[in-house]
C-alpha cells in the first residue's frame, strides 16, 4: 500500500520519469506529426476514421493476446482462427437465409455461431496447453495450420462470399456510425475498457501477472494455474470472434488469405505497448496504442511516395524496433537508486 502511494507521489512530482510507460504514446504522436507533415490530408476526418476502424481488428485481437502473453503464454493461431470463423459464419448465414430470411435473425445466428466457435477454439488451445502439457507455441502453431487449411478446404481453395441479400442487413455493422464514430471503433473501445478492468482491477488480472512472473510460485500460492491459463485462451478466442463479427460485413468474404499474419501483428501490438513477451507484466492501454501505431505506419506509407514500395517492410520493422526501444532503453534509469 505504502509502495503504491509512494509511486504515485513520484509520478505526480516528476512525470518525466514515466518515459517508459509514455513510450508508445510518444511514438504514436511522432508518427502522426510525420504523417501530417508529409500530407495534411492525413489529419482529415475521413482518414482518422479509417485509421481507427482499421485498428479495431488487430486491436481487439491484441487485447485478448495481452492476457495470454501476460500469463506467460502465446497464441499463434489467431489469424487462422479469424479466417476459419469468418468462413464458417458465412456458410452458416448463407444456409439459414432460406429459413429465416435476410433479416436480423440470420445475422444474429451468424454472430452467435462466431462467438461459440471463438470460445471453443480458444478453449481447445487452453486445454491442450494446460492439461495436454504441450508448449503453447507448439499447440497454437498446430492449430494455426489446422484452421488455415480448414478455411481453404471449406472454400474449395477459392473464396467464400456472403449472400448478397444478407449483406444489406449486415453491412451497417462495419460502415455505419454512432455518435460520429464507426461501430467497429465503439466495439474496440468497449473491449478495451472491459479488458483494462479485467486485467487491472480483478483477482483474475492479478493471477495472470502472477502466473506469468512465476508459475511455480503462483501454484504454491493456491492459484488454479491451469484454469486461469485456459481462461486467457478463451478470452483470446472471444476477442477473435468479436473481431471477425465486425470484419465479415466489410467485404462479405473469407478466403485462405484472410487474416494472414494477424497473429504477428497482434503480438507486435502487445509488445510495442509495453507488455513483456515472457509474461508477468501486461498493459491494455499500451496494447491499444501499439495497434494504432501499426495501422498508422501502413497508412503513412500509403500517403507518401518518398520511399520505394519495396522498402515498406523495412520502415515497419524500424519503427517497431524504435517504439520498443523507447520504453526498454535505460533512459537514465541507472541514476535511480535501486532498493
Partner 1 sequence: MHLMKTLAALTIGGVLSLSATAFAEDKIKIGVSYPTPTHAWAAGMNWHAENAAKRLEALYPDIDIILVNSPDPSAQASALEDLVSVNQIDALVVLPFESEPLTDPVLNVKKSGAFITVVDRGLSQPGIEDLYVAGNNPELGRVSAAYMKTRLKDGDNIVVLRGIPTVIDTERFDAFMAELEGSGINVLDHKHANWNRDDGFEVMQDFLSRFPDIDAVWAQDDDIAIGVVAALKQAGRDGDGMFVIGGAGMKETIKSIMDGDTLIPIDVLYPPAMLATAMDLTVANFKSNGPVAGRYILGATVITPENAEQFYFPDSPF
Beta bridge partners of 323: none
Q: How far is the CB of 165 from partner 1 (least distance, A)?
A: 15
How near is the Cβ of 310 to partner 1 at its closest, in Å?
6
Between the alpha carbon of residue 152 and those of residues 57, 256, 258, 328, the distances in Å are: 21, 5, 10, 40
CB of 240 to partner 1, least distance (A): 16
How many other C-beta atoms are found inside a 10 Å radius of the C-beta of residue 247? 26
Task: Name the H helices within the chain.
Answer: 2-13, 19-38, 45-70, 78-100, 104-130, 136-154, 164-170, 172-175, 183-200, 203-213, 215-220, 225-251, 262-272, 284-303, 312-328
Question: Rounded to the nearest whole angstrom, what is the least distance from the CB of residue 121 to partner 1 in the complex?
Answer: 21
Interacting residue ranges for partner 1, rule: CB under 8 A? 39, 41-42, 44, 46-47, 50, 54, 152, 155-159, 161, 175, 250-251, 253, 255-258, 298-299, 302-303, 305, 309-310, 312
CB closer to partner 1 out of 44 and 202: 44
- The H or E element that residue 255 is part of is strand 253-255
Cβ-based nearer residue to partner 1, 4 or 308: 308
CB of 214 to partner 1, least distance (A): 40
- Residue 258 CB, nearest distance to partner 1 (Å)? 7
CA–CA separation, 306 and 330 (whole Å): 33
Nearer to partner 1, 74 or 155 (CB): 155
| Inter-residue contact 213 to 275 (CB < 8 Å) | no
Whichever of 204 and 303 has its CB closer to partner 1, that residue is: 303
- Kindly tell me which of 220 and 310 has the beta carbon lying closer to partner 1: 310
Query: Rounded to whole angstroms, how far apart are CA atoms 207 and 221?
Result: 10
User: 155 vs 225, which CB is nearer to partner 1?
Assistant: 155
User: At closest approach, how far in Å is the CB of 155 from partner 1?
Assistant: 7
d(C-alpha 241, C-alpha 236), whole Å: 9
Tell me whether residue 58 or residue 272 sits nearer to partner 1 (CB atom).
58
Q: Which is nearer to partner 1, 221 or 257 (CB)?
A: 257
Residues 6+ apart with CB under 8 A from 96: 106, 109
Angle at 198 between CA 226 and CA 201, to 5 degrees: 110
Distance between CA atoms of residues 212 and 67, nearest Å: 10
Asked if residues 35 and 300 have their Cβ atoms less than 8 Å apart, the reply is yes
Q: Shortest approach of partner 1 to residue 312 CB, angstroms?
A: 7
Amino acid at each position: 500500500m505504502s509502495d503504491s502511494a509512494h509511486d504515485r507521489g513520484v509520478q505526480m512530482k516528476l512525470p518525466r520519469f514515466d518515459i517508459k510507460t509514455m513510450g508508445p504514446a510518444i511514438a504514436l504522436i511522432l508518427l502522426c506529426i510525420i504523417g501530417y507533415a508529409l500530407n495534411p490530408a492525413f489529419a482529415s476526418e475521413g482518414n482518422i476514421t479509417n485509421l481507427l476502424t482499421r485498428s479495431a481488428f488487430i486491436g481487439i485481437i491484441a487485447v485478448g493476446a495481452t492476457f495470454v502473453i501476460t500469463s506467460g503464454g502465446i497464441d499463434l493461431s489467431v489469424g487462422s482462427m479469424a479466417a476459419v470463423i469468418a468462413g464458417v459464419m458465412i456458410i452458416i448465414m448463407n444456409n439459414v437465409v432460406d429459413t429465416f430470411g435476410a433479416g436480423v435473425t440470420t445475422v444474429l445466428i451468424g454472430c452467435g455461431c462466431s462467438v461459440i466457435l471463438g470460445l471453443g477454439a480458444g478453449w481447445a488451445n487452453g486445454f491442450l496447453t494446460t492439461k495436454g502439457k504441450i508448449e503453447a507455441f507448439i499447440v497454437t502453431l498446430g492449430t494455426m495450420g489446422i484452421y488455415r487449411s480448414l478455411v481453404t478446404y471449406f472454400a474449395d481453395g477459392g473464396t467464400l462470399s456472403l449472400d448478397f441479400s444478407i449483406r444489406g442487413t449486415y453491412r451497417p455493422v462495419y460502415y455505419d456510425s454512432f455518435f460520429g464514430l464507426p461501430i467497429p471503433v465503439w466495439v474496440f473501445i468497449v473491449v478495451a475498457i472491459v479488458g483494462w478492468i479485467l486485467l487491472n482491477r480483478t483477482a483474475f488480472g492479478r493471477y495472470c501477472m502472477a502466473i506469468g512472473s512465476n508459475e511455480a510460485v503462483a501454484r504454491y500460492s493456491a492459484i488454479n494455474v491451469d484454469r486461469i491459463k485456459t481462461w486467457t485462451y478463451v478470452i483470446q478466442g472471444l476477442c477473435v470472434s468479436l473481431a471477425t463479427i465486425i470484419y465479415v460485413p466489410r467485404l462479405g468474404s473469407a478466403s485462405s488469405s484472410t487474416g494472414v499474419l494477424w497473429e504477428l501483428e497482434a503480438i507486435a501490438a502487445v509488445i510495442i505497448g509495453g507488455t513483456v513477451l515472457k509474461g508477468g507484466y501486461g498493459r491494455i492501454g499500451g496494447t491499444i496504442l501499439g495497434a494504432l501505431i501499426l495501422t498508422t505506419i501502413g497508412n503513412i506509407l500509403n500517403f507518401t511516395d518518398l520511399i520505394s514500395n519495396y522498402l515498406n517492410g523495412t520502415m515497419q520493422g524500424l519503427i517497431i524496433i524504435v517504439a520498443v526501444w523507447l520504453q526498454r532503453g535505460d533512459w537514465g534509469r541507472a541514476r535511480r537508486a535501486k532498493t
